[in-house]
Structure 1
Amino acid sequence: MDPAVRFRDPASALDLAELESEATYLRSYESLFLPGLFQVEGYTRAIFEASDAVSTGDEIDAAVRFRGRRQHVLFADRPPRVHAVIHEAALHMLFGGTDVMREQLQRLVELAELPHVTIQVMPFTAVAVSALTTPFCHITSHGDGLATVLVEHPARSAYLHSDGDVAKYRTQFVRLGEAALPAIDTTAVAVKHATRDSLGLVQHLLYTLQGVSK
């Protein structure tokens, strides 16, 4: 899901921000980009600079600020529960260069320490279930009484509300979570180095980036 696509339609971007502010649970699957709520400023800026969603420097600055304001929901008095499944491919995309990606990967680990945030990585070696799935965000609010699914397409975002669509994507997210590595957990003691989990993969990529030039 190209997070810059949403900004082509200001109304859509505002709709998303409103849904996030009222949400009780956000379930997000991303394949090539990290979720907007998790992005550091340099990563967000690099995405907008590389896209055609905005063109001028002022528009890029405004888009970056808007995304930063959206992230405040993670630190609200009553934040939503956030569960993200991120394909490993997104962790290899060098938006902003190696320094920015190191900062971005470290941010993932820091956010995973929040009690209401769960982050899993879908490895390249996982079953092909993720290859059949378009990036999406399943948003529930009002005590899970209301639900919306945002599906991103190159031309336009689609908001799905029917019971059938919502149920389909909820089931798909469960399947993605089952296929992904165990969630990032900074409190776990790594006694079995052969055990693969999301934190181990992120740490490996951070170590790899130490030896990569800018």
Structure 2
Amino acid sequence: MGLRTHPTQRQRRLAEELRRLRESTGMSATEAGSHADLGRAHMSHIETGRTGISEDKLRRLLNAYGVASKPLVNELVEMAQPTGPGWWSRYTDAVDSRACDLAELESTARAHRSFQWVYVPGLLQTPAYMRALFESGEPDTSTARRERYAEFRQRRQRVLHGPRPPRFHAVVHEAAFHMHFVPRDVMLGQLDHLLEMGRLPHVEIQLLPFRAPSYPATSTAPFVIFDASCPELRTVYVEHPVSASFLSERAHIAQFTTGFEQLSNVALSPLDPTNDGPRSSLRLLQHLRYLLEEAPYAGP
């Protein structure tokens, strides 16, 4: 079997964790490989995601590394199983590899924690809202390609409506609803959709108002924390203007996890149709609706 040219995010994440575990023991690749009948070159390919590893050899490596956590062992074994092409592979004509990696991660995570301050999170967008974003952000792209973008994003959203959906917790800054790059009626529909999504038992949406008493010193870029079945395998996805990043270093995970907790603490209470108190997300959503319906609007 040839080496992988473009390992998926899942394959890279497994490789990174195996390398981290080996390095934590102080073993060289040659020493570690001897416990599983793997040569140094083969170990190098495994630790870069360029080739897979059988369950037996993986368990032998983890035993040599002294991994005692059964959830971690089980999760790594699951990650190492061949899965075949995912549904996202059908959209490589329209989206880049990072978008496909994101879809793969969304499909396997046990929980998502998302912070956005310019847009509504992708998994919560209405079709009209996402099309308006693509039209304003990609004006030179053909209509057919933009439709493929929208189709891909709508397909990603199915993860929240399956039989075993992940927990989804979003903190969205009020600024996202004052942007005038979508028509008024589209934004109104988007607000209504957020309220409906907030009714789902596994979805929690908090709005962060301009008048929040404090603003945590966290990343100014939008990000999502993806939780696995064990905390060691959390991954953070950070959006950048040029290229998104997937972070797995323990220090980065801790920084973003703490940052999200702080954002959630200063945000309004979760969106709930029965709670329109003064510190509720519903109260702010109702105010935003009033502004859109009554105030002058300079949108497209």
TM-score of the superposed pair, with normalisation by structure 1: 0.88
Secondary structure in 2 matching 1:129: coil
Give the C-alpha shift of residue 92 in structure 1: 1.4
Q: 1:13 to 1:178 in 2, by over 3 A?
A: same
Secondary structure in 1 matching 2:169: strand
Q: What does 1:102-121 correspond to in 2, within 5 Å?
A: 102-121=188-207
Q: What does 1:86-165 correspond to in 2, within 5 Å?
A: 86-126=172-212, 127-129=214-216, 133-165=220-252
Per-residue deviation, residues 151-188 of structure 1 (Å, max 9, x unmatched): 11111001101111111100100000011111111133
Q: 1:39 to 1:91 in 2, by over 3 A?
A: same
Residues 1:179 and 2:266 aligned together: yes
Distance in structure 1 (CA, Å) of the matches to 2:250 and 2:219: 21
Secondary structure in 2 matching 1:28: strand
Task: State the match for 2:282 in structure 1.
Answer: 199
Q: 1:15 to 1:88 in 2, by over 3 A?
A: same
Greater mean deviation of Cα atoms: 99-108 or 46-55: 46-55
Note if contact 1:21-1:73 (Cα within 8 Å) is conserved in structure 2: yes
Distance in structure 2 (CA, Å) of the matches to 1:44 and 1:52: 12
Note if contact 1:151-1:159 (Cα within 8 Å) is conserved in structure 2: yes
Task: State the match for 1:46 in structure 2.
Answer: 132
Q: 1:8 to 1:53 in 2, by over 3 A?
A: farther
Give the C-alpha shift of residue 150 in structure 1: 0.6
Secondary structure in 2 matching 1:45: helix
Distance in structure 1 (CA, Å) of the matches to 2:117 and 2:97: 24
Distance in structure 2 (CA, Å) of the matches to 1:154 and 1:8: 18
AA aligned to 2:156 is R
AA aligned to 2:192 is Q
Q: 1:128 to 1:145 in 2, by over 3 A?
A: closer
Distance in structure 1 (CA, Å) of the matches to 2:140 and 2:267: 33
Q: 1:90 to 1:131 in 2, by over 3 A?
A: farther
Secondary structure in 2 matching 1:128: coil
Q: Which consecutive unaligned segments of at least 5 residues does structure 1 have?
A: 1-6
Distance in structure 1 (CA, Å) of the matches to 2:248 and 2:242: 20
Residues 1:77 and 2:163 aligned together: yes
Distance in structure 1 (CA, Å) of the matches to 2:206 and 2:104: 25
AA aligned to 1:197 is S
Note if contact 2:269-2:281 (Cα within 8 Å) is conserved in structure 1: yes
Where is the strand percentage greater, Structure 1 or Structure 2?
Answer: 1
Per-residue deviation, residues 83-124 of structure 1 (Å, max 9, x unmatched): 100000001123431110010000000000000111111110
Secondary structure in 2 matching 1:96: coil
Q: 1:81 to 1:33 in 2, by over 3 A?
A: same
Give the C-alpha shift of residue 15 in structure 1: 0.5
Q: Which consecutive unaligned segments of at least 5 residues does structure 2 have?
A: 1-92
Count of equivalent residues: 204
Structure with larger RCO (C-alpha < 8 A, sep 6+): 1
Greater mean deviation of Cα atoms: 157-166 or 87-96: 87-96
Secondary structure in 2 matching 1:121: strand
Distance in structure 1 (CA, Å) of the matches to 2:110 and 2:232: 10
Residues 1:37 and 2:126 aligned together: no
Q: 1:92 to 1:61 in 2, by over 3 A?
A: same
TM-score of the superposed pair, with normalisation by structure 2: 0.64
Aligned sequence identity (%): 42
Give the C-alpha shift of residue 9 in structure 1: 5.7
Distance in structure 1 (CA, Å) of the matches to 2:249 and 2:94: 25
